[in-house]
Chains A and B, each alone.
Chain A
Amino acid sequence: MSGDHEGQSGSQSGGQSFEERLARARDGAGLDRPPPEGKPDTASDSGAMRLAMRLGVEMVAALVIAVVIGWGLDRLFHTRPWLMIAFVPLGAAAGLRNVFRAMGPERKN
């Protein structure tokens, strides 16, 4: 399919480069899981338990930082509690980002 698009005209190259960019972004964000043989420590129960603990800490840490930033900015601008509320979803997103990064493919050196 993509070969057809490429052959037709230059206007389709926007879609092509979007696919490429998406693939690169997914790769960079660690969304495409590597084949399972690269993760030996999920094999045992205690390994999985440790992993769960680790990812939990990653999520909560980002949330805590976001709430602290929001609370501090609220104190600064006297806008309590709106900035703190705004920062909670940001913190949750950052926590998920941490988890994806921690679970993603091994970095290439």
Chain B
Amino acid sequence: MAGPTIDALSQFRLTTGLGPIGRVVNFTNSNEMMLVAVAIIIVLFSVGLRTRSVVPGRLQSLVETLYEFVYGMCIDNIGEEGRKFFPLVFTIFIFILLGNLLGLFPYFFAYTSGIVVTLTMALFVFLFTTGVGFYVHGFRFLKFFVPDGVPGWLLPLLVPIEIISYLSRPVSLSVRLFANMTAGHVMLEVFAGFMILLTASLGVFGAVASIIPLGLNVALIALELLVACLQAYVFAVLTCLYLHDAVHMH
């Protein structure tokens, strides 16, 4: 008997969007969602900031809260120099946040659940912060890998450790976001699949019993909302901390 099975991973499959043109240039559903996210961000900000009233309305207040939240994060974590990096941190934060939140809607693709996307962003952050470090400090930035107050004979051991620790940053940064989003979506799909399996195998009793996975899924959606915001925040905060390291070296 080939009954329904739980296929939790097919939701991450990339297909091509935008019809025949998209097929030629490999324009995927992931790219589609990115464009949707960018369009939402642009519309949100241009509409939200059109009124520019002293007492903000709902939309303007949402936009201003987001702006001030990320601005405060930059200043707190990087210091006064954080002003210069605000556009980058804000772009990263809002792009990941929209990706995570849009992915929670049925039939929408969460582009942050692809390791390719998160690793690309993490590698960009890694290369950018390293570049900032060398730009600000020149070759003295290499002293970042030499912990101070350590006897010289330990350095051949400690410097490789520091370098490995530094190189592991993009890996942990990207895997954290990717794993959180993928795990959340798989859990949602598995519990939803339970409902179908229960109904198919136990009939009416199964249909009644499937209220348990349904309730769990409702709770999971709340958790996933939290995770979606939290992971965007974590990615942005870590970007700030890496920039702090690059600017201040300690």
Contacts and interface: CB of A to CB of B under 8 A. Distances in A.
Interface of A: 21-22, 24-25, 28-29, 50, 53-54, 57-58, 61-62, 64-66, 69, 87, 90-91, 93-95, 97-98, 101, 107, 109
A22 B169 CA distance: 26
B79 A109 contact: yes
A10 B232 CA distance: 55
Interface of B: 76-77, 79, 147-150, 157, 160-162, 164-165, 167-169, 171-172, 175-176, 179, 230, 241, 244, 250
A61 B175 contact: yes
Q: Chain B at the A interface: mostly helix, strand, loop or mixed?
A: helix
Nearest to B176: A57
A94 B149 CA distance: 18
Given A24-B148, A29-B147, A57-B172, A98 B79 contact: no
Interface centre among B148, B165, B175, B250 (most CB of A within 10 A): B165
A35 B148 CA distance: 25
Given A24-B148, A25-B150, A97 B172 contact: no
A22 B154 CA distance: 14
Q: SS class of chain A's interface: helix, strand, loop or mixed?
A: helix
A62 B164 contact: yes
Contacts of B244: 107, 109
15 contacts: A24-B149, A25-B147, A25-B148, A25-B149, A28-B148, A28-B149, A50-B230, A54-B176, A57-B176, A58-B172, A61-B175, A94-B164, A94-B165, A95-B168, A109-B79
B171 A61 contact: yes
A67 to B, nearest CB: 10
A28 B250 contact: yes
Contact of A64 (B149, B169, B171): B171
A109 B76 contact: yes
